[in-house]
Amino acid sequence: MSQVKTQIKIGELDDFIENVGKVVEVQGHSIAIFRLAENRFRAVENRCPHKQGPLAEGIVSGEYVFCPLHDWKIGLQDGKVQAPDHGCVQKFDVAVEKQGVYIVI
């Protein structure tokens, strides 16, 4: 059985600074949104699996964010923690239409 996906507007393109995380609360989810180069967006749950560090406050490098608490490296494309650490965070799809930015739930 497939689930119906919904797009929820979370802001305008100009509301997001490149390589700086922003937290949005959507349907009970705390989500870290990242605007990368060339207006690409990535979204993951806003908690590191290690000690629940706020990923939106982490340092962005390419397609990765580094947790601000203990420097765990997490892939923004797939939500996977990079070795030697392990774990994952939930990933969310993001859509950009004209100037609007939408999270897909």
Q: Write the secondary structure of the chain as one string of H (helix), E (strand) and C (coil).
A: CCCCCCEEEEEEHHHCCECCEEEEEECCEEEEEEECHHHCEEEEECCCCCCCCCHHHCEEECCEEECCCCCCEEECCCCEECCCCCCECCEEEEEEECCEEEEEC
Q: What is the pTM of this model?
A: 0.90
**Is the pLDDT at 94 greater than 90, yes or no?**
yes
What ranges do the domains of the chain cover?
A: 7-104
Q: In this predicted model, what pLDDT tens digit does every residue of 52-83 receive, in sequence order?
A: 899 999 999 999 999 999 999 999 999 999 99
Supply the pLDDT for residue 2: 58
Q: What is the mean pLDDT of residues 11-22?
A: 94
Supply the pLDDT for residue 10: 95
CATH code 2.102.10.10 for 7-104? yes
